[in-house]
Amino acid sequence: MQAFLKYINDHALKPISKEDFEVLQGHFVYKKLRKKQYLLENGEVCRYFAFILKGAMRKYYVDEKGTEHIVNLFIENWWAGDTESFTMLSPSIYNIDAWEDSEVLLITHENATKLTKLFPAFKEMLLKMDEKHKIATQKRITSSISFTAEKRYANFLDCHSDFLQRFPQHIIASYLGITKETLSRIRNQFPQK
């Protein structure tokens, strides 16, 4: 829980007190997920957003041919969920599962809304998180439609080099929108860190 308190305070101008944090954490549910266990399945409504305390997760879409397309990868101190489904209470088109055994804190939309009214630090954290997500999405779209595979991989290394130790090559290739053979060729061109 200390990691979550630090996360909130790192994203707020005025830190949340330990006493207020105790009240705040009462609005979350702690849950363990086994590797390959779903947080969300296609067709379900995303009832919870998850703050990852430990582990790694992936969010993916399965097309009509049965091919998985990785939309997001998540590790500790990241949030996992489907914003559209969570906000609109509509069925999700995504699956989110644990790539490793994971520990998460789950929050409902109702409790998230309540906490934004009770704790300015929590509201500020959500706003900053939303801003970062919008920027990352914009960069990801630009990368997908205009960058070469080599440049996408270089950007991935700059932003998410820690993912290389957590996710296999075929998952990273899907995230980058390339084949694992192309990724293998590109990786051989880059100096190993």
pLDDT in tens, 134-149: 998 899 889 889 999 9
pTM: 0.91
> In the structure encoding, which two tokens stand for residue 164, read together?
């290389």
pLDDT at 1: 76
Q: Token pair 């559209």 is at which residue?
A: 84
pLDDT < 50 positions in the chain: 193
Instruction: Report how far residue 89's alpha carbon sits from residue 17's, in angstroms, rounded to the nearest whole number.
Output: 32
User: Which pLDDT score is estimated for 191?
Assistant: 65
Contact status, residue 60 vs residue 42, Cβ threshold 8 Å: no
8 A C-beta contact, residue 100 and residue 73: no
Q: What is the pLDDT of residue 68?
A: 94
Other Cβ atoms less than 10 A from the Cβ of 165: the count is 8
Q: How far apart are CA 114 and CA 58, in angstroms?
A: 28
pLDDT of residue 192: 59
Compute the residue count for the chain.
Answer: 193
**pLDDT at residue 12, rounded to an integer:** 87
Question: What pLDDT, on a 0 to 100 scale, did the predictor assign at position 13?
Answer: 86
Q: Give the DSSP per-residue string, 67-130.
A: -EEEEEEE-TT-EES-HHHHHH-PBPS-EEEESS-EEEEEE-HHHHHHHHHH-HHHHHHHHHHH
Give me the pLDDT at residue 190, please. Answer: 75
- What's the confidence (pLDDT) of residue 181? 92
Structure tokens at 103: 């520990």
For the packed helices 120-146 and 149-160, what is the interaxial angle rounded to 10 degrees? Answer: 160
Instruction: Provide the angle, in degrees to the nearest 10, between the axes of the packed helices 18-25 and 2-10.
Output: 110
The pLDDT value recorded for residue 79 is 95
Looking at domain 2-120, its CATH architecture is Sandwich (2.60)
What pLDDT does residue 2 have?
85
Phi, psi values for residue 188, rounded to 5°:
-70, -20
Locate the domains of the chain by residue range: 2-120
